[in-house]
Each structure stands twice: as C-alpha cells, then as structure tokens.
Amino acid sequence: MPLATKNVRRFAELDDTDRAILSELTADGRLPNNALAERVGVAPSTCLTRTRALRECGAIRGFHAEVDPAAVGLPLQALVSVRLTAHERAAVDAFRARSVRLPGVVAVFHVAGAEDYVLHVRAASADALRDFVLDHLAVDPAVLHTQTSLIFEQARGMG
C-alpha cells in the first residue's frame, strides 16, 4: 500500500482533540505542554501522551525554527521548476533522492502539470543561484528543462 494511502487511513483515526493539538502546534510550535493542554481542554498528562502519539504516527513530522534566510547569508530565494526526461518510478525516485541533498535546497515538491518537480532554493546571490542551476540541474541527464522564478516576498499562511 502506498505511503500516502496509509497516512490517510491512519490520520482518519485522529479525533477532535488530536486535531486541536495539531492546530495549536501549527500556530505556535513552541507552546509549552501546560498551555497547550489548557487551550485544547485536556489534562497536561493527556496532552503529553497525545502529542507523543502524534509524533510517533507521523502526524507531527518535527519542530523547527523559522529563520530569516538573510541571517544565514542566503537572502535570495527561488522556485526552480524541473521537467524530467523520463518518468519511470526509478528515475523519479532517484531524482527526488538526489535533489533533497543539493546545497541550498529547502524543499522539494513533486507536482502535477507541465513540470515534474519544484525546488525551493536559497542562495547567497544571483550568481550563486545561476551556478546552482548550471552545476547541479543543467548537467543532470535526468533533467530535460528548468525554469527559475525568483521569490520577491514570502508570507507564511495560517494552515
């Protein structure tokens, strides 16, 4: 059974309290357990047990700090659309496995439509972004075409 199908079935078993915990943690991942428990209306011990269970089942994938890319010397962001030369599972899986390890790659999205992947990339400069595309994507025999779109501004959604 594909992983996505397993997740849908497993996540269908989450109740309103689990979803409330996920909602609160999405809004503030640093929320202390006592405050989280109070917001969702359960005892702190129950909240801690449920939060651990949500991590174990994969509903919570992790916690991270949202850092301004300029603070780490990578002020330029781009979305690089990639069209592959072949679409056999092995080729697609191999590209995904390689692309997530490339320097500056923040996220890799497998998408439907004219392009196969969109890579969210951070770079120190326009020259560094050009070098990334030329040195890592243009030379990859699995890549047929790329198109780069600069990100002027990024705003985080509530979902």
CATH number for 75 = 3.30.70.920
For 31-82, the pLDDT digits (tens) are 999 999 999 999 999 999 999 999 999 999 998 888 899 999 999 999 999 9
Q: Are residues 47 and 73 in the same domain?
A: no
Q: How many domains does the chain have?
A: 2
> What pLDDT, in 10s, does the model give residues 84-96?
999 999 999 999 9
> How many Å apart are CA 150 and CA 32, to the nearest integer?
37
Cα–Cα distance between 51 and 21 in angstroms, integer? 7
Tell me whether residue 158 is in a domain: no
Domain membership of residue 1 (yes or no) is: no
Apex 124 CA angle, 121 and 128, nearest 5: 75
Q: Is residue 3 part of a domain?
A: no
Structure tokens given for 38? 């109070």
Note whether residue 25 is domain-resident.
yes
* Same domain as 115, residue 52: no
Whether 123 maps to a domain, the answer reads: yes
Same domain, 112 and 134: yes
Amino acid 5: pLDDT? 47
Both 39 and 82 in a single domain?
A: no
Name, in order, each residue with C-beta under 8 angstroms of 98's C-beta and a sequence gap of 6 or more.
140
What would the 3-class secondary structure string for 53-113 be?
Answer: HHHHCCCCCCCCCCCCHHHHCCCEEEEEEEEECCCCHHHHHHHHHHHCCCCCEEEEEECCC
Q: In CATH, what number is assigned to the domain containing residue 50? A: 1.10.10.10
Shared-domain flag, residues 81 and 106: yes
Residue 4 lies in a domain: no
User: 26 lies in a domain?
Assistant: yes
Mean pLDDT of the chain: 92
Domain hosting 146: range is 69-151
Coil, strand or helix: which one is 32? Answer: coil
In the predicted model, what is the mean pLDDT of residues 100-113? Answer: 96
Helix%, strand%, coil% for the chain, nearest 5 = 45, 20, 35
